[in-house]
Structure 1
Amino acid sequence: MNIPNIRLLNQQLVNPLFHEPKELVSWMGAMQAQNYPMVKWAVGMRLKSATIQAVEKALREGEILRTHVMRPTWHLVAAEDIRWMLKLSAQRIISANDSFAKGYDLDIPDELYAKGHQLLEKILCGKKSLTKQEIAEHFNRSGILADNHRMTRFMARAEQEGIICSGEDKGSKCTYALLEERVPPMPELTKDESLARLARSYFRSHSPAVLQDFVWWSGLPVSDAKQAIYLIASELTTEQWKEQTWYIHDACRTRGKLTDDIHLLPSYDEYLLGYKDRTDVLPLEHYPKAFTNNGLFFPIILHKGQVVGNWNKSAKKKGLDLEYSCFRQEADMDEAMLHQAKQKFAQFLGK
């Protein structure tokens, strides 16, 4: 089983199927969006043709949203998926955040959360988008202490309660808006329906993968993850390999024309972060060069499906300057293909 080749196809890194950012994010289920500028490239590079303006338009119009779901971190999700995804993960994220807060003396009483939620509904009503700093000023004027740590707690809870989501950016600054005004009402799903949708999204875009990969990516308890896989069992093909059961979704492409192209993957990219075990594309000894033990993921170079190095950019007034480093001195990378990868990134940015 050629794991890298199948993942390249279904993560839309080779021969992509989609034109629109919304289609791609919906296919992927969710895309980690801790680094906001980089996740725009993560979307754009997986489309048939895209510019940063097209991705920003989808964000501005609320077709895709940035919020905390699944694991307690930022993700991009399609607008129509946000409510059922929140419902699946909200209580788990609230519990994790509350546990963290207790350890740092950042507890906020429920009645104060309720007061904060009422204020958010008041100041954002009318399809307004406000930055975290602007919201903090309203909180302070209303007598609610709102330093940076407490505002993070207030906003995180309001996200999980389905009160706010990402709004229209103000320049380079992210904003918040009311979810009810940003996303039309959608039919409610049962828990099993939601679990099935999450599993379907994951395995069609991340196959081949094992149970522990899905548990890691989704943040679900093992019992719920197993139930999710059971619910879509008729859509999955299983294969025993390396003493594990691997799942491949029926919607996956397992054959296709692959090239020796080089890909400049952004930090926190799903190709690496979407799996618990990354050794199929990255040797264990090179883990520290791609990510840290405390969860920082770096931009990486992908060649023939394998992570072979790092890259970073320094924007200039004219053009784009990229720096590269390979994990192994003998790494064989064609300079013309490296230049082609750089050009694709530059075209996305319009440079």
Structure 2
Amino acid sequence: MSSLPLISTAERRRRLGRRHRLAPSARAASVPEVADAVIGLHATDASTVFLSARARLSEGGPGTVERALYEDVSLVRLLSMRRTLFAVSTELAPYVDSSTARAIAAKERRNFLKRLAEDGHGLDADWLAGAESATLDALDSHGPSTGSQLSAAVPVLRRKVTVERGGKYEAQVGVATHVIRLLAADGRIRRDRPRGSWTSSQYRWVHTEPWPAVPPAEARAELARRWLRSYGPATEADLKWWTGWTLTDVRKALAAVGPDTVRLDDGTTALVSPGDTGPEPEQEPWAALLPALDPSAMGWADRGFHLDPAHRPALFDYAGNIGPTVWWNGRIVGGWAQRADGEFVHRLLGDPGGEAERAIAAEADRLAAWVGEARITPRMRTPLERELAVG
């Protein structure tokens, strides 16, 4: 094992700064370039896509991200890794779709058909196909529409079904959300510009064509190859956690890539892209304020190289979602929040030094200028974010 190349913790942090486009000299010129650098931007929270892109773009405001999502459509949202919504480049989308999203879409469909059968009112796959067809026809007729607008235009979407029949949580729920979710998971509709500002989650929907088919094994190998380049050194367990694939699929994908093995500072081993064992170029010191669920904080199951375990209780919610974070040279050193009056505040968890404090304050000012009059409240709120937000 001693003959294996060593990649130190400091080296891993340098890789993160350059490859994740967080160091100022490494910032990207376009939104798809940002997304590809980290494979995809978490999109469960509407503002995360924008704020993750902001931290990595050399120039441009919220309108730059909106153009990529809704005009150029060079960035699209897919229900994919870990059944989580990601925004990925259209160049990568077919690989994400075939490697991950197709299986999720099929499972979502099976679960909903089971729910329809349990309702006992004769709703089945044929009924669902008719509801989906009527929804697509409505989008073709009316153009971009919200879920409520589609429900108004398509009577079958106003249907309700009983869930948890006979159980403690029995309830009547509408089918519209489920039908729209299935169409989106299948790539037959996509999210368009929301009602309201870029922080809104009231999306309109548009009819679109499914992604070109890629053999799933080929797609998984391509995703694993890109992930290793962005997140290596990393482990088999990290890739399994990040993708949500089975262990068998993870191992087959890695075998197709043929990664190299390296040593880490703690004596364990990890994987990198073939030949990717050399030193990372030196870079300038850098600070970043990243949003909740940012990929650089969520890319590994084991984040010990950039996160002090003592800081987890303040920065994570009960479900394991990380909140807004403050970074200095590749490690998390604090958290931030925006208050109701628009003020951005942060707290450092330790003393990173005067240079770090000045750089972080400057980055906070850059964030405030970029956000302008918008208000950011993470969907997944963490103890430190809540505390800072109320003052």
Give the alignment's TM-score, normalised by structure 1: 0.85
**Pairing partner for 2:261 from 238, 244, 261:** 238
Secondary structure, counterpart of 2:77 in structure 1: strand
Which residue is equivalent to 1:7? 16
Which residue is equivalent to 2:135? 120
User: 1:214: how far off?
Assistant: 1.0
Structure 1 residues 348 and 99: alpha-carbon distance in aligned structure 2, compared to 1, 3 A threshold: same
1:145 aligns to 2:156 (yes or no): no
Structure 1 residues 239 and 97: alpha-carbon distance in aligned structure 2, compared to 1, 3 A threshold: farther
1:161 aligns to 2:182 (yes or no): no
Bigger Rg over Cα: 2
Counting only pairs closer than 5 Å after superposition, residues 13-92 of structure 1 correspond to structure 2 as 13-14=22-23, 15-16=25-26, 18-61=28-71, 62-89=73-100, 90-92=102-104
Deviations 1:150-190 (A, max 9, x none): 3332222212222112223333332222221xx8x64x322
- AA at the equivalent of 1:80: E
Which residue is equivalent to 2:348? 326
Partners of 2:57 and 2:203 in 1: how far apart? 24
Which residue is equivalent to 2:205? 176
After TM superposition, the runs of 4+ consecutive aligned structure 1 residues lying more than 4 A away are 96-108, 146-149, 250-254
User: 1:252: how far off?
Assistant: 8.9
**Contact 2:158/2:176 (CA < 8 Å) preserved in 1?**
no
**Contact 1:239/1:246 (CA < 8 Å) preserved in 2?**
yes
Which residue is equivalent to 2:295? 270
User: 1:36: how far off?
Assistant: 1.0
**Contact 2:40/2:295 (CA < 8 Å) preserved in 1?**
no
Secondary structure, counterpart of 1:220 in structure 2: coil
Secondary structure, counterpart of 1:56 in structure 2: helix
User: 1:19: how far off?
Assistant: 0.6
**Contact 2:19/2:37 (CA < 8 Å) preserved in 1?**
no
Secondary structure, counterpart of 1:119 in structure 2: helix
Give the alignment's TM-score, normalised by structure 2: 0.77
Q: Which 5+ residue runs of structure 2 have no aligned equivalent? A: 1-7, 162-171, 374-391
The root-mean-square deviation of aligned C-alpha atoms, in Å, is 3.0
Partners of 1:155 and 1:118 in 2: how far apart? 11
- Percent identical: 20
Counting only pairs closer than 5 Å after superposition, residues 278-293 of structure 1 correspond to structure 2 as 278-293=303-318
User: 1:96: how far off?
Assistant: 6.1
**Contact 1:68/1:156 (CA < 8 Å) preserved in 2?**
no
Q: Which 5+ residue runs of structure 1 have no aligned equivalent? A: none
Partners of 2:82 and 2:321 in 1: how far apart? 15
Structure 1 residues 227 and 149: alpha-carbon distance in aligned structure 2, compared to 1, 3 A threshold: farther
